[in-house]
Amino acid sequence: MSEIEIIIDIIFLIFDILIFPGLIGAIFFGGIMSWFNRKVIARFQSRRGPPFSQSWSDLIKLFSKEQIVPVTANRFYFYLGPLIALTGAYMVCLLFPIRFLGNSFLSSLGELLEYGDIVLVITFLLFPAIGLIIGGTASGNPFSSVGASREGSMIIAVELPLALALLTPSLYLMHQNVLGAFNFATIEEVQANSAWFLFKFPFAGVAVLICLIVKLGIRPFDMVEARQEIIDGPLTEYSGALLGLIIITKYIMWFAFSGLLTLIFLGGGGNLQAPLNIIAFLIKSFGVVFVISLIDAISPRFRIDQAFKIILTSVVILALVDPFILIVTSNI
């Protein structure tokens, strides 16, 4: 391989990490998704909703404000929490095989991504919750600690159904002896050649949607930040740039979570050419955001014990249906 090709690959890699699907693209499209969610809810509630620039106005305001750390807080962990949350959400986006400049990069990151994509994603999906728990418990506010304990019980509940449902397509691919069954690119390619996995595994798809709603903190599962009960949960003491970082994390989570569902169950970008596959991917992602917003608009909030019970019974059963059918029909 010539030197020029290596340089081009490095440029591609930097583009991937920083522009799309990396940091800037994720924040940009995630911000639009967050605005879209607020707008859809507002229209359902006969309100006007925020203007298009609202996501960015929020960030500009927060980053220009004074940063206050409470006296009771543990400074180190107070700063560490949002950073861990941001890192986890960002890494999920980075693993997406949706790329502007084609898929050919040879760096160590590229080799890493060849194996175990979904397992890595399940790990990184934990990071935002862990960051909030660290930040919330470190801030020394009773509301924050209640919020953090709620977040803790939510991730305990939601990990099992999420992992079960997300790994159902991989289980199927492994059974079909497809190479790289855990890889996003393979899953996307298989769906492009046959049907979407949503039609093959509808129960798993719905289970993933519910789990992502829990992770995003959307009604009916928004008890972590229940405004009427515990002010803002783990975020109560955050202000200024740190709150801005958490808002950025939320934007990236919108992009990452809707993108995850799109990639694994809705066929991702298909086998289209470079700009077209991104457009297809984004349209599907916005569809997912619309469905989530619909659920957000029509439901009240569960109590924490109700939510725990529902996730560990109904959603786990929902997630188990498709693997069960797969095992029974294939006579393993």
Partner 1 sequence: MNSKKYDNLMEIPDLKFKRLLTIPIGPFHPALIEPAFLTLHCDGETIKDVNIKVGFSHRSVQYIMEKRNYNRNIFIAERVCGICSNHHATSYTGCVERLLEIESEIPDRARYIRTIILELERLHSHLLWIGIAADLIGFETLFMHSWRDREIIMDLLELISGNRVNYGMQKIGGVRRDIPNELIPKIRRVTSGVRKAIENISSQALSDRIVESRFKNIGVITDKDAQKLGVVGPVARASGLNIDSRKDSPILAYDELDWQICIQKEGDVSARLIVRVQELYESLSIIDQSLDKLHDSSSKEIALENIPSMGSGLEALFKSEPPRGELVYHIITNETSCPERVRIRTPSLINNNAVPSMLKGYSLADAPIIFGSVDPCFSCTDRVIFVKDINKNRTKQLSLRELARKKRKKFRRFIL
Q: Which residues bind partner 1 (CB under 8 A)?
A: 41, 44-47, 142-143, 145-146, 219-220, 222-223, 226-231, 297-306
Q: Which CB, 90 or 143, lies closer to partner 1?
A: 143
Taking the complex as a whole, the smallest distance from the CB of residue 122 to partner 1 amounts, in Å, to 28
CA angle 28/31/36 to nearest 5° reads 125
Q: What is the CA radius of gyration of the chain?
A: 20
Distance CA(250)–CA(85), nearest Å, equals 9
Q: Which CB, 226 or 253, lies closer to partner 1?
A: 226
Could you identify the residue written with the tokens 């940063």?
Answer: 67
Q: Which CB, 133 or 223, lies closer to partner 1?
A: 223
Taking the complex as a whole, the smallest distance from the CB of residue 311 to partner 1 amounts, in Å, to 14
Q: Which CB, 13 or 73, lies closer to partner 1?
A: 73
Q: Which of 131, 147, 153, 57 is nearest to 87 (CA)?
A: 131
Q: Which CB, 1 or 71, lies closer to partner 1?
A: 71
Taking the complex as a whole, the smallest distance from the CB of residue 139 to partner 1 amounts, in Å, to 15
CA-to-CA dists, residue 275 to 138, 185, 196, 260, angstroms:
44, 17, 21, 19
Distance CA(165)–CA(206), nearest Å, equals 9
Q: Which CB, 73 or 230, lies closer to partner 1?
A: 230
Distance CA(22)–CA(55), nearest Å, equals 18
Taking the complex as a whole, the smallest distance from the CB of residue 159 to partner 1 amounts, in Å, to 21
Render 72-83 in DSSP notation, one character per residue. Answer: TS-HHHHHHHHH
Taking the complex as a whole, the smallest distance from the CB of residue 34 to partner 1 amounts, in Å, to 16
Taking the complex as a whole, the smallest distance from the CB of residue 41 to partner 1 amounts, in Å, to 7
Measure CA of the first residue to CA of the last residue in the chain; give whole Å: 44
